[in-house]
């Protein structure tokens, strides 16, 4: 009898629960609940490689890190000019070589300890450690002697131009004037890490230790890492002890790694996401006609391109690369397939990057392409060694790759195979140079041509092609040392001409940022770097 009672009570409870949850569903969707509770639901494309700011290189990782860390200065949500961050003010010397940052004494790490100037120095030393193997270490090369230290020529970090005068004063001495320095330091590679946490789980230069697990994580951003379920969710919540906590309106952000942009769009439509990273190609027209208030097409400082493995035949043949580049009908790709306002790329640096202009030279010219191909010594496409095109699993990369595959077949008679890999496997193949041609996208880290052109310096962390040109190196380095904008741009265009003549990477199109956004998200401004400082966002 007793058991029956329990049985009925349980059954009744279950039914009640079911009814009440049904009711809830009708009244509140996930997004409207999130809006009410101040939680942003963010479609973030892919599972991050790691959450270590000195290791990661991808855009999805940066989306998360922006919430967990705060640099010396932070970008203004509208025009990205530097606003005080961990530093409340800064002084610049007359000769533009010495920057003195005054840190906030009230800024703390998520474990309550104060953010000290020495933590920044430790972080710079960490990312520049040769054994850490950070692909972004070159972002700090503007610091005096940093390059020598990173390349192992200098062993003593004390001779590198970063010094903590006291707990709240950080002095950075540059090797040469760097006009874009203040926007450079907003990048993730300049984020501080908490030294005791790093050292607890390894050495200063250990990669992939457990410090980024939620139970160990220490950051200095407006949010802290609460939960990380692989391939499911990363959840960050507002820190009550953050120095500017009273101005942070969001209570948390849920990042969902949704590789399939079809799923992402469906979740958005089902009110499960506030914002998506992408929009499936097939849906753009539908949103343009039916829901233009949800569709956002923002200018975006980025280039979509294919890199060639210069160390591996047959792509070591410059003429072959040129023929391939000329046989891509970029206009057809952007107008017939992408339809999101993208621009066919005839150069590598996006037009008008901080005022820099370069005339497009890589065009669509099948006659010239065939002529150059006949000069390569390969009689026809069939006599070539097999070529494969590698891309990460994603529907739009897949469609573009198929279109380009067909163009090369039709115009040059070259058959290539397509290989797609999951994001982490793809990143590893690229770094290990186990590819012939690979898809890449580069989003400017700061608004300056240097962010695009110093990518291709010899041995650069993100130069996965194996390409190297001493003339190019010296031109880009000269440009970075020059304070005169006209002179800089002249040097940059000389460098870019060399690059586009050699074509270790074949530019395809300049990005636009096509995504969906709920009107309930406020304080979200379109900007060319797609940087949205979460602390200025609010929901209503």
Partner 1 sequence: MKKNGTYSRGTSLMRDALRRFVRNRLSVTGCIVLLFIITLCLAAPLLTPYTYDYQNLSSGATPPGAQHLLGTDILGRDLFTRILYGGRVSFAVGLCATLVSVLIGVAWGAIAGWYGGKTDTIMMRFVDIAYAFPFTIFVIILMVFFERSLLLLFIAIGAVEWLTMARIVRGQVMALRHQEFVDAAIGLGLRQHQILLRHILPNIIGPVIVYATLTIPAIMLLEAFLSYLGLGVQPPSSSWGILIREGTESMETYPWLLIFPAVVLSLTLFSLNFIGDGLRDALDPRSSRE
Question: Does 229 engage in binding with partner 1 (CB under 8 A)?
Answer: no
Q: Which is nearer to partner 1, 168 or 394 (CB)?
A: 394
Binding partner 1 by CB under 8 A: which of 173, 312, 319, 409? 409
Cα–Cα distance for residue pair 320/366, rounded to 1 Å:
13
CB 370 within 8 A of CB 294: no
- Interface pattern 330-369 for partner 1 (x via CB under 8 A): --xx--xx--------------------------------
Question: Does 425 engage in binding with partner 1 (CB under 8 A)?
Answer: yes
Residue 13: CB atoms within 10 Å? 10
- The structure tokens 């990005």 sit at 511
Contacts of 440 (CB under 8 A, 6+ apart): 304, 305, 306, 307, 430, 464, 505
Q: Which is nearer to partner 1, 370 or 398 (CB)?
A: 398
The structure tokens listed for 22 are: 């049904």
To partner 1, the closest distance from the beta carbon of 369 in angstroms equals 17
DSSP string, 415-461: -EEEEEE-HHHHHHHHHTT--SEEEEEEE-SSSSTHHHHGGGSTT-T
CB 309 within 8 A of CB 315: yes
To partner 1, the closest distance from the beta carbon of 286 in angstroms equals 6
Question: Does 406 engage in binding with partner 1 (CB under 8 A)?
Answer: yes
Q: Which is nearer to partner 1, 28 or 49 (CB)?
A: 49
Nearest to 325 by CA among 301, 352, 348: 348
CB 453 within 8 A of CB 495: yes
Residue 32: CB atoms within 10 Å? 14
- The structure tokens 């009110």 sit at 271
DSSP letter, residue 140: G
To partner 1, the closest distance from the beta carbon of 403 in angstroms equals 6
To partner 1, the closest distance from the beta carbon of 399 in angstroms equals 6
To partner 1, the closest distance from the beta carbon of 46 in angstroms equals 14
Q: Any idea of the CA torsion for 503, 506, 510, 512, to the nearest 10 degrees?
A: -140
Q: Which is nearer to partner 1, 421 or 478 (CB)?
A: 421
To partner 1, the closest distance from the beta carbon of 366 in angstroms equals 14
Nearest to 265 by CA among 289, 230, 294, 288: 294
Q: Which is nearer to partner 1, 188 or 436 (CB)?
A: 436
Binding partner 1 by CB under 8 A: which of 329, 365, 368, 473? 329
Instruction: Tell how strand 505-516 and strand 437-443 pair up.
Output: unpaired
Q: Which is nearer to partner 1, 270 or 282 (CB)?
A: 282
CB 130 within 8 A of CB 140: no
To partner 1, the closest distance from the beta carbon of 231 in angstroms equals 9
Residues 456 to 515: which contact partner 1 by CB under 8 A? none
Q: Which is nearer to partner 1, 283 or 321 (CB)?
A: 283
Nearest to 446 by CA among 527, 520, 360, 330: 527
Binding partner 1 by CB under 8 A: which of 398, 433, 481, 490? 398
To partner 1, the closest distance from the beta carbon of 29 in angstroms equals 20
Question: Does 520 engage in binding with partner 1 (CB under 8 A)?
Answer: no
Residues 264 to 323: which contact partner 1 by CB under 8 A? 280-283, 285-286
Q: Which is nearer to partner 1, 148 or 266 (CB)?
A: 266
Question: Does 431 engage in binding with partner 1 (CB under 8 A)?
Answer: no
Q: Which is nearer to partner 1, 102 or 409 (CB)?
A: 409
The structure tokens listed for 535 are: 């602390």
Question: Does 167 engage in binding with partner 1 (CB under 8 A)?
Answer: no
Q: What H or E segment, with its residue span, contains residue 66?
A: helix 59-68
Q: What H or E segment, with its residue span, contains residue 2?
A: helix 2-27
Question: Does 419 engage in binding with partner 1 (CB under 8 A)?
Answer: yes
Q: How many residues bind partner 1 (CB under 8 A)?
A: 29
Cα–Cα distance for residue pair 176/173, rounded to 1 Å:
9
Binding partner 1 by CB under 8 A: which of 421, 431, 478, 526? 421
Q: Which is nearer to partner 1, 89 or 402 (CB)?
A: 402
Residue 114: CB atoms within 10 Å? 15
- C-alpha pair distances (Å), 393 with each of 45, 46, 179, 399: 11, 10, 38, 11
Binding partner 1 by CB under 8 A: which of 171, 204, 226, 418? 418
Binding partner 1 by CB under 8 A: which of 29, 176, 262, 431? 262
Interface contacts to partner 1, rule CB under 8 A:
262, 280-283, 285-286, 329, 332-333, 336-337, 393, 395, 398-399, 401-403, 405-406, 409, 417-422, 425
């Amino acid at each position: 009898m007793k058991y029956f009672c329990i049985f009925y009570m349980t059954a009744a409870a279950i039914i009640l629960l079911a009814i009440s949850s049904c009711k809830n569903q009708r009244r509140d969707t996930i997004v409207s609940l999130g809006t009410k509770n101040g939680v942003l639901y963010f479609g973030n494309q892919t599972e991050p490689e790691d959450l270590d700011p000195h290791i990661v290189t991808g855009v999805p990782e940066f989306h998360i890190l922006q919430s967990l860390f705060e640099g010396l200065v932070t970008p203004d949500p509208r025009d990205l000019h530097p606003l005080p961050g961990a530093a409340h003010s800064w002084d610049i010397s007359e000769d533009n070589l010495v920057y003195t940052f005054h840190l906030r004494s009230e800024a703390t790490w998520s474990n309550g300890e104060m953010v000290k100037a020495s933590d920044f120095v430790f972080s710079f030393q960490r990312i520049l450690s040769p054994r850490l193997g950070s692909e972004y270490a070159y972002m700090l090369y503007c610091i005096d002697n940093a390059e020598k230290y990173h390349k192992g020529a200098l062993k003593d970090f004390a001779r590198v131009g970063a010094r903590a005068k006291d707990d709240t004063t950080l002095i950075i001495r540059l090797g040469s004037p760097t006009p874009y320095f203040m926007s450079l330091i907003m990048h993730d590679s300049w984020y501080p890490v908490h030294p005791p946490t790093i050292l607890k789980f390894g050495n200063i230069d250990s990669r992939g230790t457990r410090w980024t697990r939620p139970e160990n994580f220490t950051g200095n951003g407006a949010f802290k890492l609460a939960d990380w379920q692989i391939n499911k969710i990363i959840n960050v919540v507002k820190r009550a002890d953050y120095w500017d906590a009273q101005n942070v309106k969001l209570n948390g952000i849920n990042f969902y790694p949704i590789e399939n942009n079809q799923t992402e769009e469906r979740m958005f439509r089902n009110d499960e996401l506030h914002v998506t990273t992408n929009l499936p190609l097939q849906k753009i027209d539908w949103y343009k006609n039916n829901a233009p208030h949800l569709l956002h097409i923002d200018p975006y400082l980025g280039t979509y391109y294919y890199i060639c493995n210069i160390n591996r035949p047959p792509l070591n043949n410059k003429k072959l690369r040129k023929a391939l580049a000329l046989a891509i009908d970029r206009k057809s790709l952007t107008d017939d397939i992408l339809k999101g306002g993208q621009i066919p790329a005839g150069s590598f640096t996006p037009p008008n990057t901080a005022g820099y202009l370069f005339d497009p030279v890589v065009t669509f010219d099948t006659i010239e392409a065939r002529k150059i191909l006949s000069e390569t010594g390969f009689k026809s496409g069939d006599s070539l060694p097999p070529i494969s095109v590698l891309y990460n699993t994603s529907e739009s990369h897949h469609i573009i790759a198929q279109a380009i595959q067909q163009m090369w077949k039709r115009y040059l008679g070259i058959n290539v195979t397509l290989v797609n890999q999951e994001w982490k496997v793809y990143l590893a193949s690229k770094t290990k140079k186990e590819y012939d041609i690979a898809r890449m996208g580069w989003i400017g880290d700061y608004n300056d041509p240097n962010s695009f052109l110093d990518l291709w310096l010899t041995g650069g962390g993100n130069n996965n092609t194996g390409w190297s040109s001493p003339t190019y190196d010296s031109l880009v380095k000269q440009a970075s040392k020059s304070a005169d904008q006209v002179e800089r741009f002249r040097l940059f265009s000389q460098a870019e001409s060399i690059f586009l003549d050699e074509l270790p990477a074949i530019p395809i199109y300049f990005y636009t940022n096509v995504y969906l956004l709920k009107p309930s998200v406020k304080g979200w401004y379109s900007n060319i770097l797609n940087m949205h400082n979460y602390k200025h966002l609010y929901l209503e």
